[in-house]
Structure 1
Amino acid sequence: MSRKLFGTDGVRGRANTHPMTAEMALRLGAAAGRYFRRDGRNRHRVVIGKDTRLSGYMLENALTAGLTSTGMNVLLLGPVPTPAVGFLTRSMRADLGIMISASHNPAEDNGIKFFGPDGFKLSDEAEAEIEAIVAGEVAPAQPANIGRARRIDDGRGRYMEYAKTTLPSGLRLDGLKVVLDCAHGAAYRAAPDVLWELGAEVIPLGVKPDGFNINDGVGSTHPQACAEAVRAHGAHLGISLDGDADRVVIVDQTGRVADGDQIMALLAGRWAAQGRLKGGALVATVMSNLGLEHFMAAKGLRLERTRVGDRYVVERMREGGFNLGGEQSGHIVMTDYATTGDGLVAAMQVLGAMAETGLPASDLVAQFEPVPQMLKNVRYAAGADPLAAEPVRRVIAEAEARLAGTGRVLIRKSGTEPLIRVMAEAEDEHVLREVVDGIVAAVEQAA
């Protein structure tokens, strides 16, 4: 069953523009409610969290109307990180979890992500079924079966207490000075409080959301702000989360930025040494650096690759019984702790390693030398398909032949924006630039 409404991470778009309208949110809520109430009973519940975008109010109310119209009881969490929704969906025995967020995108965008009763994101098949219901007529509940809605005031606190349990009992972060950039997003209260309660000295950044400033010059897509603060304050570490706190990048004490690949390498190496790495493998996407693959092989471990999207990483982890995976962008999935990427918990694993080993961050988050990699994005008009153009296919084939045995080329459409992502890796940086620029030029001309 094909999907047109759902992308690689739920439904996403510009607020008040299809599909991110109140009308569509209402229909999505009603369709999801009907999908999860197929047995007709009136005991079902859904938890809804959101980040700090202004449009979150609109979408939250519309989803609530749609869900209650089909008999779902709605529990409203307010601003909480995406992993909190996954955790609380299971903890509160809900049938469905929904996160309203466009993650690292700018404030004018928003999105709707769905979680099943097990706390994991819905499968492609489930999303396709919900999309089919949206396209048809959604049968409302009888008047006596309309659902109720209520606010859950302590959802953030429940998640915070759980997050703290992911560090070994008795381990404290005393003496560590940490810059924590929350991107003016969903973790702006939870993350600083957790680290402070564990003993760290926290220098907060990006903790004053106003509905419009989420990810604006801060957060994991703009780690320079965190790096500058680390150097200015002489901090031991910088943590830069994204708008919904399901991804993280780390800044060492010198201001150098470490992406998700380096974080995964650190955790994989430590967990393998401790006998905790299930299956002797790490699951990552095709975007992860070749250097990570070489690092894993040198330790006698495997790197299993999936298509781009943390949902596909999680699917492979569950299929193979693996407990560590993620994306170069900073989604770190640790199924021992969470059902989705959790930026705060991943950062705490790095802090825990610092506390246990006494080593500086620069020694811990530079596990391998990356193979030179270049990524460029090309925007294209709706309805266009630049990758189908013969000149583009020819240039890509020539690039693949040129890098055969010394690098690789990866061209794909973004699942969340109208972008063609052109990525290549090669030992020779001059050749790398020529290859990427050549493909970008061809795609731009076709677009």
Structure 2
Amino acid sequence: MGRLFGTDGVRGLANAELTPELGMSVAVAAARVLAERDRSHRPVAVVGRDPRASGEMLEAAVTAGLASAGADVLRAGVLPTPAVAYLVGELGADLGVMISASHNPMPDNGIKLFAEGGHKLADTVEDAIEARLYEPGSRPVGAEVGRVRDLVDAGERYLGHLRLAGAGETPLAGLRVVVDCANGAAAELAPEAYRRAGAEVIAIHAAPDGLNINDHCGSTYLDEVTGAVREHRADLGIAHDGDADRCLAVTADGATVDGDQIMAVLALALRERGELVEDTLVATVMSNLGLHLAMRDAGITVRTAAVGDRYVLEELRAGGFALGGEQSGHLVLPAYATTGDGVLTALRLMARMAVTGRTLADLASVMVALPQVLINVRVTDKATVAAAAEVRDAVAKAEVELGDRGRVLLRPSGTEQLVRVMVEAPTRDLAERIGEQLATVVASVT
């Protein structure tokens, strides 16, 4: 059996792989591990969810598990993932639980855990929880059973935080924005946050019914927001995913602005205010070479982490850096958030437009993305492929051909027998040709 926790909690097909029984067991084990770490008080947990239908079932299971293990539960309802992380820190809770599968389709769901302060759990803590998953143990009775209450002002607390951490004193009056809420957790809060900051807001896919989350909308499907930006003659479009920890953008003329470009814009803004610690940005190995080139020209160092926002967070915390993120739109500003926050990112991006008086297209032009090709090759044994001499030779040959005009990255999948072949080059034709050559070599290894 593989490790239960992936790079972003426990995920699976709801009620098939991720069952209420599993959700309850994870909650009980988490409460027990936390109780052992600090016996001075009864643990307190904040529980939130996105609006997918299975979240109701899993919320009940997780809440029951926590209370049965002696933890008090603050039930926050439907909220973005970063709101749950914020509330854990703001309320001094011991644990946060977010029930969401982020950008995944509606039938999936997941359980994300946050430690005190709203930080993602360390691997060692996840391992301890997994080790205790089905371990028998005594349960509290009587007055020691955990209590459950609704945190009725959870949304308002988060909006108050965003008012200060997002646009701040910069009014967004005059900006017209289309926001695609992905029929997800931010369907009410994201448009409200942008309106309170002064923007004119057109919200689309903001009517979740439990079944329509991420359904041909949001950050994984930009056609809708692009069309709406043109229809409403908006200054920009913002697209979130189901739990709103991501943010992608669209310019007034319909061009996509991905996480790399948003990072470039915000890095320059932070550096201008003297807030970019050590003039350093944290990205992942999948970030476009164009980001590295743009930051080098601006005198900003780019440190790379493995793919996954938890690895970006680890690098940010280790170096005390001020900004990091992924091409997918997961951006972290550690001074204001402990995890990726798509609404905060959007507010910061719009504030930069308001302060400079520049269009999003103009701001994003600081970075020119190189054509990037990604090919997933199914293999029998990804470890054997990674170690194969013929694969190393093929990569070395491709790197010689590209020189400093591009790059090659072969990355085994963390969950499947796949090798991901990524090539960046000055032209798409060259990237595709080299990518296909490498994929052929990878596929030939047995």
TM-score category by the smaller chain?
over 0.9
- Gap runs ≥5 in structure 2: none
CA contact (8 A) 2:167 2:347 kept: no
| Matching residue within 10, 19, 26 for 1:28 | 26
| Partner of residue 338, structure 2 | 339
Q: Using the TM superposition, give the Cα deviation of residue 359 of structure 1 relative to its aligned residue in structure 2, in angstroms.
A: 1.0
CA RMSD of aligned residues (A): 2.2
TM-score by length of 2: 0.93
Deviations 1:193-237 (A, max 9, x none): 111122211111110111121111111111121111101110001
Q: CA 1:161–1:408 in structure 2 vs 1: closer, same or farther (change >3 Å)? A: same
Matches within 5 A, 1:278-289: 278-289=277-288
| Partner of residue 370, structure 1 | 369
CA contact (8 A) 2:377 2:443 kept: yes
Secondary structure at 1:204 match in 2: strand
Read off the aligned partner of 2:194 and give its amino acid letter: L
Matches within 5 A, 1:189-228: 189-228=188-227
TM-score by length of 1: 0.93
Q: Using the TM superposition, give the Cα deviation of residue 277 of structure 1 relative to its aligned residue in structure 2, in angstroms.
A: 0.4
Q: Using the TM superposition, give the Cα deviation of residue 64 of structure 1 relative to its aligned residue in structure 2, in angstroms.
A: 1.1
Read off the aligned partner of 1:242 and give its amino acid letter: D
| Partner of residue 71, structure 1 | 70
Q: Using the TM superposition, give the Cα deviation of residue 143 of structure 1 relative to its aligned residue in structure 2, in angstroms.
A: 4.1
Matches within 5 A, 1:284-433: 284-377=283-376, 385-389=381-385, 394-395=390-391, 397-404=393-400, 405-406=403-404, 407-415=406-414, 420-433=419-432
Q: Using the TM superposition, give the Cα deviation of residue 279 of structure 1 relative to its aligned residue in structure 2, in angstroms.
A: 1.6
Read off the aligned partner of 2:14 and give its amino acid letter: A
Q: For 1:313 and 1:411, how far apart are their aligned partners in 2?
A: 19
Deviations 1:168-217 (A, max 9, x none): 54421111111000101110000011111222111111101111211111
Q: For 1:95 and 1:391, how far apart are their aligned partners in 2?
A: 43
Q: Using the TM superposition, give the Cα deviation of residue 424 of structure 1 relative to its aligned residue in structure 2, in angstroms.
A: 1.8
CA contact (8 A) 1:45 1:75 kept: yes
Q: Using the TM superposition, give the Cα deviation of residue 23 of structure 1 relative to its aligned residue in structure 2, in angstroms.
A: 1.0
CA contact (8 A) 2:283 2:324 kept: yes
Q: For 1:42 and 1:141, how far apart are their aligned partners in 2?
A: 14
Q: Using the TM superposition, give the Cα deviation of residue 376 of structure 1 relative to its aligned residue in structure 2, in angstroms.
A: 3.2
- Gap runs ≥5 in structure 1: none
Secondary structure at 1:186 match in 2: coil
Secondary structure at 2:83 match in 1: helix
Read off the aligned partner of 2:272 and give its amino acid letter: A
Q: Using the TM superposition, give the Cα deviation of residue 305 of structure 1 relative to its aligned residue in structure 2, in angstroms.
A: 0.2
Read off the aligned partner of 1:225 and give its amino acid letter: E
Matches within 5 A, 1:75-224: 75-167=74-166, 169-224=168-223
Q: For 1:197 and 1:339, how far apart are their aligned partners in 2?
A: 23
Provide the aligned length of Structure 1 versus Structure 2.
Answer: 442
Q: Using the TM superposition, give the Cα deviation of residue 419 of structure 1 relative to its aligned residue in structure 2, in angstroms.
A: 5.5
Q: Using the TM superposition, give the Cα deviation of residue 403 of structure 1 relative to its aligned residue in structure 2, in angstroms.
A: 2.1
Q: For 1:417 and 1:242, how far apart are their aligned partners in 2?
A: 23
Read off the aligned partner of 1:12 and give its amino acid letter: R
Q: For 2:239 and 2:49, how far apart are their aligned partners in 1?
A: 19
Secondary structure at 1:229 match in 2: helix
Secondary structure at 1:78 match in 2: strand
CA contact (8 A) 2:99 2:111 kept: yes
Q: CA 1:146–1:419 in structure 2 vs 1: closer, same or farther (change >3 Å)? A: farther
